[in-house]
Amino acid sequence: MHFKTFALAALTATTAVASQVGNAIVENHCPFTVYLWSVGGSTGPKQVLKSGGVYTERFHRDPKSGGIAIKITKVDDGIFNGSPQTNFAYTLTDTRVFYDLSDVYGNPFSGHKLVVDPSDPNCQEIVWPSGITPAGTLTRDCQNKSDVKLTLCA
């Protein structure tokens, strides 16, 4: 009986580890505060990232939207007042995570380098040297255990 309980617990633990996926990370290296929301089928709470602040979320699928957009502005409540926003978006599929970077309503980080850097060195970075979309930017993808980090003002 005791052994059975233990074996079941061990099995559960193994399953949890095996299905673990990586994280989306945003590091604010800018000398100013930014505001961030994780948006899927609904909008998550506002995160205030001071200079040096870090935001992390485990990759997940949204039951309605599928993909997630981490929306970042330099203006408080920026996604509710039409301020320029940078969207760090990802979609977790059965085996991979797809990620990209885009701007809407302007370029909040114009003049500041943005880098999306997967922890798995086999996967490709996205680099915006001057904070605006370089021509020909593509969606990248990586295995689902890799973290993918966006550095603001890299």
Ligand X SMILES: *[C@@H]1O[C@H](CO)[C@@H](O)[C@H](O)[C@H]1NC(C)=O
Applying CB under 6 A, does 95 fall inside the site for ligand X? Answer: yes
Instruction: List the interface residues with ligand X, window 104-143 (CB under 6 A).
Output: 143
Applying CB under 6 A, does 144 fall inside the site for ligand X? Answer: yes
Residue 144: how many other CB atoms lie within 10 Å: 17
Least distance (Å) from ligand X to the CB of residue 23? 13
Q: Which residues pair with 98 in a beta bridge?
A: 91, 141
Among 5, 19, 42, 122, binds ligand X (CB under 6 A): 19
Applying CB under 6 A, does 83 fall inside the site for ligand X? Answer: no
18 φ, ψ to 5°? -65, -30
Do 150 and 34 contact (CB within 8 A), yes or no? Answer: no
Contacts of 135 (CB under 8 A, 6+ apart): none
Nearer to ligand X, 15 or 43 (CB): 15
Closest CA to 23 of 107, 97, 106: 97
Mark 39-78 with x for binding to ligand X (rule: CB under 6 A) and - for no binding: ----------------------------------------
Both tokens of residue 51?
Answer: 């200079």
Applying CB under 6 A, does 23 fall inside the site for ligand X? Answer: no
Applying CB under 6 A, does 21 fall inside the site for ligand X? Answer: yes
Closest CA to 91 of 114, 117, 65: 65
Interface residues with ligand X (CB under 6 A) are 19, 21, 94-95, 143-144
